[in-house]
Chains A and B, each alone.
Chain A
Amino acid sequence: MYRQEVNHVPKIKYFVQQSWLLIVCSFFFGLLLAIANAAWSPRIEQNRINKLNDLAGRLIPKAKDFVPLDKLGVTIEVKSLKGPKKKVDVYKAVTGDACFGWTFNAVGSGFQDKIELVVAVDKDFKTIAGFDVLASNETPGFGDKIKGDEFRNQFKGKPAAQLELIKSGEAKDNKILVISGATISSEAVIEIINHSISQVKRQMQEKGLLGNDKE
């Protein structure tokens, strides 16, 4: 009986009969999603900017704003440790017209997972103002210490050149004391910073953003 009915009813009508609810619901849900998105996405974007500014602000306290280099029409690309070139977000730390430094994001692989850092340097790219960890998944209690103040404070004022890790002794000039029990995580951080600083610095010089310094 049912089979015969189906044969007589045109295909389109059968299709609609079976799935009208699905179509109506899809439409309704789509609308719901669009409303939620429109209402909240500006806030989500603002959260993202706030987070970057927060971290960067603590590294370069004198600056009030962080202007992305994109806005100034410049793109910097870094050849990542894996190979391909990736665009790097570089920000100019300013208060009004005065530049107080630069911050940029750097990524590399750590002990367990990716490590994402935000590195801050002074306006001539000569010394490191510090770094902060955006995302990492290192071993709690060991590799985790890269987020701690003890390790991070060592970087303040170090030259923006190749840094070296030492196991003991005084951490002068470009030497950094390793975190005991977390060699690989410490090495990862040094490697990320060394690698990205040298490349970003060179590109910034090439694009003439660093004034007259030719070092």
Chain B
Amino acid sequence: MDTLNILLVGFISIVLINNLVFTKFLGICPYLGVSGRIDMAFGMGMAVTFVVTLSGTLTWLIDHMILIPAGLEVTRYVCFILVIAGAVQLVEMYVRKFFPSLYESFGIFLPLITTNCAILGLCLFINLWGIDNLLEAVVLSFGAGIGFTMAICIMAGIRENLNLADVPDCLKGAPITLITAGILTLAFMGFAGMIR
């Protein structure tokens, strides 16, 4: 029961309180680029969740089973990014072959995600926080993906309405999106201190 408690708390904290986009500034590039429409946003969010869960788990495993025991921590960044790139490549080939309908909905985003700071960022944060069991790493990665999906869908919803509003010319596009993101961050700050 204790473990379940920890996992639940960790999940909620990374979705609401330590949300990757709003508090850790990760994944901003796709956030700005793909949040135009809700269906695209959701597709991107799902793709990110899938990749980040996979990468988080894999990198944790590699870190704890190979790098630390062998004292090869200096190659950590190189290994992480290569694992992430390789995993994404394999996943894309696999999905394209066996689940073509799924590929239709989010496959095109997969190559873009490799250079998404959110993935590498999460793997590094898991490392930084000293998570020392696999289950917690998996739950946190999944939670991070869900948090990102939630953030990007909220933004897509707002942007769809913004298109109809009277935004000054110079602020159209990225500027107004950033300002909206700032206000969203302020809103999410209300969740801080929720878990004690």
Contacts and interface: CB of A to CB of B under 8 A. Distances in A.
Does A touch B (CB under 8 Å) in the complex? yes
Interface of A: 29-30, 33-34, 36-37, 41, 82-84, 109, 111-114, 184, 187-188
Contact of B5 (A33, A34, A83, A187): A83
B2 A83 contact: yes
A142 to B, nearest CB: 11
Contact of A109 (B5, B23, B78, B196): B196
Contacts of A113: 18
B75 A188 contact: no
27 contacts: A29-B78, A30-B75, A33-B74, A33-B75, A33-B78, A34-B74, A37-B74, A41-B74, A82-B6, A82-B9, A83-B2, A83-B3, A83-B5, A83-B6, A84-B6, A109-B195, A109-B196, A111-B192, A111-B193, A112-B17, A112-B23, A112-B192, A112-B193, A113-B18, A184-B193, A184-B196, A188-B196
Q: Is the interface of B mostly helix, strand, loop or mixed?
A: helix
Name the residue in B5, B9, B75, B192 with the highest tally of chain A Cβ atoms < 10 Å from its Cβ.
Answer: B192
Nearest to A191: B196
A41 B75 CA distance: 13
What 6 pairs across the A-B complex have the smallest Cβ distances?
A37-B74, A83-B2, A111-B193, A184-B193, A112-B192, A33-B74
Contacts of A114: 129
B140 to A, nearest CB: 13
Interface string B61-85: 0000000000000110010000000
Contacts of B9: 82
Contacts of B17: 112
Contacts of A188: 196
A113 B196 CA distance: 10
A30 B9 CA distance: 40
Nearest to A187: B196
B180 to A, nearest CB: 22
A184 B189 CA distance: 14
Nearest to A139: B192
Interface string B1-36: 011011001000000011000010000000000000
Contacts of B5: 83
A48 to B, nearest CB: 14
Contacts of A29: 78
A112 B189 CA distance: 9
B95 to A, nearest CB: 25
B148 to A, nearest CB: 19
B114 to A, nearest CB: 17
Contacts of B75: 30, 33
A75 to B, nearest CB: 16
A33 B9 CA distance: 38
Which of B2, B17, B129, B196 has the most chain A CB atoms inside 10 A of its CB? B196
Nearest to B18: A113
Contacts of B74: 33-34, 36-37, 41
